[in-house]
Amino acid sequence: MFSRLLDTVNLRNLSWLTIGQYLTTALVPPRCLLCDGPGQRGNELWGLDLCHWCEAACPPAGEPQRGVAELAAPAVALDGVRALFLYDDPVDRLITGLKFRGDLAGARVLGTLLARRLLAQGFRLPQVLVPLPLHAARYRERGFNQAAVIAAHVASRTGVPVDSSLLRRVRATAPQTTLSAAERRRNCEGAFSIVPGRHVPGRIALLDDVMTTGSTAAAAAGALREAGARHVELWVCAVASLGTSR
Ligand SMILES: [Zn+2]
């Protein structure tokens, strides 16, 4: 009798992920953060809070259209940049919602998409993910580091551990919006240091929400290299053109 019931609802063909997803999405169905329509189930336990249409409207950073673009490194300290989207509508709404309104669901969407696409493309994974730290004053003002929250979601899906305490921002940098690329580089020099006594792995991916000139990430990569890292790449959710603040 019970076995006939199982056959009727076809439970035998369901994986634990699918069963868990039926339960979680029945309790809290995924909703699109951008248009409030139904989100996607995908292969995530809680689904993805972004609909197919809004995902398709997010402008890719380059080729492939539905993947992570490999961009030229903006400085010698960086071995490469992997970028998901352009910082343009509607991606900017996800990122400003996260940074300025504390909408952490945006970090989950961005982290999930970045991880999904990196894994799908089969990139060689680093030993550790290091979110770009905020200066203490900015951290106190915002209450969280958006890069660290995104990194936690990328880590849980890729299996690469996050180290948020290896690198620290020792100097607050002036707002970069009005600076030229050369001024931004000077502005970021000496802004990062390694926490004394910490072992620095050889292969590291820095993670940030938005890259503009890459001067902030380059300064962080320089500090990691001086401390022994051999390969430092940057993963970003979006690349912005000059003139956009980060
Ligand atoms: Zn939508």
In the chain, where the domains are located: 1-58, 61-239
Residue 31 has pLDDT above 60, yes or no: yes
If you average pLDDT over residues 143-170, what whole number do you get? 95
- pLDDT higher at 27 or 114: 114
User: Rounded to the nearest whole angstrom, what is the distance from the C-alpha of residue 239 to the centroid of ligand 1?
Assistant: 21
Residue 207 has pLDDT above 90, yes or no: yes
Check residue 77 and give its pLDDT: 92
Residue 3 has pLDDT above 70, yes or no: no
Task: Tell me which fold the domain 61-239 belongs to.
Answer: Rossmann fold (3.40.50)
User: Rounded to the nearest whole angstrom, what is the distance from the C-alpha of residue 41 to the centroid of ligand 1?
Assistant: 13
Residue 221 has pLDDT above 90, yes or no: yes
Check residue 22 and give its pLDDT: 66
User: Rounded to the nearest whole angstrom, what is the distance from the C-alpha of residue 198 to the centroid of ligand 1?
Assistant: 43
Check residue 138 and give its pLDDT: 87
Check residue 107 and give its pLDDT: 96
Confidence of residue 20 (pLDDT cuts 50, 70, 90): low
Confidence of residue 243 (pLDDT cuts 50, 70, 90): very low
If you average pLDDT over residues 72-87, what whole number do you get? 94
User: Rounded to the nearest whole angstrom, what is the distance from the C-alpha of residue 50 to the centroid of ligand 1?
Assistant: 5
User: Rounded to the nearest whole angstrom, what is the distance from the C-alpha of residue 98 to the centroid of ligand 1?
Assistant: 17
Residue 11 has pLDDT above 60, yes or no: no
Backbone phi, psi, residue 28, to 5°: -130, 90
Check residue 229 and give its pLDDT: 97
User: Rounded to the nearest whole angstrom, what is the distance from the C-alpha of residue 37 to the centroid of ligand 1?
Assistant: 5
Confidence of residue 44 (pLDDT cuts 50, 70, 90): confident
Check residue 146 and give its pLDDT: 95
What percentage of the chain carries pLDDT values higher than 70?
84
User: Rounded to the nearest whole angstrom, what is the distance from the C-alpha of residue 174 to the centroid of ligand 1?
Assistant: 36
Predicted confidence (pLDDT) per residue in 174-197, tens digit: 666 677 777 777 777 778 999 999
Among 194, 190, 112, 120, CA closest to 155 = 112
